[in-house]
Amino acid sequence: MKWPEDHEHQDLRSGVRQVCSNFPGAYWRGLEPDTYPTEFITAITQAGFLGALIPEQYGGGGATLTEASVILEEISASGGNPAACHAQMYVMGTVLRHGSAEQKQQYLPEIAAGRLRLQAFGVTEPGAGSETTRIQTRAEQIPEGWRINGQKIWTSRALYSDLMLLLARTTPYEECEKPTEGLSTFLIDMRKVEGITIKPIKTMINHSTTEVFFDNVVIPADALIGEAGKGFRYILDGMNAERILIAAECIGDGRYLLEKAVGYANERIIFDRQIGSNQGVQFPLAKAYAQLRAADLVRFDAAAKYDAGKSCASEANMAKLLASEASWAAANAAMDTHGGFGFAVEYDIERKFRETRLYQVAPINNNLVLAYLGQHVLGLPKSY
């Protein structure tokens, strides 16, 4: 299958693919339903890819977001699942942009060196999904620092992370002029505090996601990132990067699924001819290819704008929307092409089918992306 990869990134792509070649489909299948890919994470960290976005002055790769997105795309395109590590790449962005000089010096070199994991991002709560400002986890200021009480849900990789970036309310919702005020961001060293309970959630994909309970957890004053009350803005700041990176993962998933499907459609002989010679098989694959290519252009446009320091919220949102729909089109076409064998675990189609479905729901639901575009780009009334 032809994929006009950006030639400037060929070395980077082949470097990532080289690491991934030691982790074939059998490796990822063997981890199901819920084993964390520790060997892969160690290898990709040691190769320097997970510290790519950390500036060189802190020992990281100093890569652009475009380059970081290429890394995640290639992991997906190799058949791997970067969801086990993508947060390590971008959650640190909040520390980088809003942390103090001391916080950056304390954490970023350790994260870049792979000695410290910042993989957990605690925002969503059972009672506050897409409506983030309704979170109820509370951080109260006390003489020793802050005391945290509450519950998070879908905090992925918390069991495999040393640090967690937490969004908590420091001023009750009712006392704030705007719902987005009174929220604060904390960097919690989970190895050093008591009162945190983490419970895995069983899901249809291998995602190491959890519920996290905070019971009078005392954290030091210097765990606060930036100013108290401004946490919602800090989290929003990181969302464009996250959406562009997720879009790239979807593009990688779509490439993987299409490549397998095209190979199968060319080989499989039914009624004395290749199944790919039937339009009913060929056209959905061709359509998914066109959708992926279009989404990829928006993804690179969004990433280029981000790297140039230009506003890119609409492009980042569109990239995530289009890429998650395109990879899902590829997943469905690949399932149909494989017929019954699409359901056989050893073909990896059903695994990627499940994995790529997530991105229409998380990190933000596509309905909320459409609501953003409707309101902020088209100038329509707020729909919620």
Residues binding ligand FAD (CB under 6 A)? 121-124, 129-130, 154-156, 203, 207, 209, 358, 361-365, 367-368, 371, 384
CA 180: distance to chain centroid? 23
Helix (H) or strand (E) holding 281: helix 279-307
**Residue 15 C-beta: closest distance to ligand FAD, Å:** 27
Residue 211 or 222: the one with the smaller Cβ distance to ligand FAD is: 211
Measured in residues, the chain has a length of 384
Question: How buried is 11 (Cβ within 10 angstroms: 0-12 exposed, 13-18 middle, 19+ buried)?
Answer: exposed
Q: Considering beta carbons, is residue 17 or 134 the nearer one to ligand FAD?
A: 134
* Closer Cβ to ligand FAD, 120 or 224, answer by number: 120
Q: Measured from the CB atom, is 123 or 250 closer to ligand FAD? A: 123
Shortest Cβ 303–ligand FAD spacing (Å): 21
Q: How far apart are CA 258 and CA 243, in angstroms?
A: 22
Query: How far is residue 32's CA from residue 345's CA, in Å, rounded to a whole number?
Result: 10
C-alpha to C-alpha distance for 320 and 244, rounded to whole angstroms: 6
Shortest Å, Cβ 139 to ligand FAD: 16
Residue number with CB closer to ligand FAD (153 or 258): 153
Nearest-approach distance from CB 290 to ligand FAD, in angstroms: 26
Q: Which residue is nearest to ligand FAD (CB)?
A: 129
59, 108 contact by CB (below 8 A): yes
Angle separating helix axes 10-20 and 38-46, nearest 10 degrees:
150
Residue 363 beta carbon to ligand FAD: minimum distance, rounded to whole angstroms = 5
Dihedral sign, CA of 262, 263, 264, 267? Answer: positive
> Considering the complex, what minimum distance in angstroms separates the CB of residue 318 from ligand FAD?
17
Structure tokens at 202: 């069983």
Task: Return the number of the residue (108 or 369) whose C-beta is nearest ligand FAD.
Answer: 369
